[in-house]
Amino acid sequence: MYTAPTPEPVMSCCEASAATQIDGAPWNDLANDAGAVYVFSRQGQAWMA
């Protein structure tokens, strides 16, 4: 039986991106201290973003 990897959220408190969607405008740093959450999961021994 296959078990899907459990996603692990990682917070970044000093991120300044003003992007409002996934992969949206990563160069736009107009929102100082906006924060962000990155989600990773494991595939075997490797972390996947």
Q: Please, what are the averages of pLDDT over each run of 10 residues along the chain (49 residues)? A: 71 81 80 82 78
Q: What pLDDT is stored for residue 15 in this prediction?
A: 80
The residue with tokens 């949206």 is: 24
Give the β-pairing of 46-48 and 36-43. Answer: antiparallel
C-beta separation of 12 from 35 below 8 A: yes
Helix (H, G, I), strand (E, B) or coil at 8: strand
Q: What pLDDT is stored for residue 1 in this prediction?
A: 58
Q: For the whole model, what pTM was predicted?
A: 0.52
Q: What pLDDT is stored for residue 9 in this prediction?
A: 82
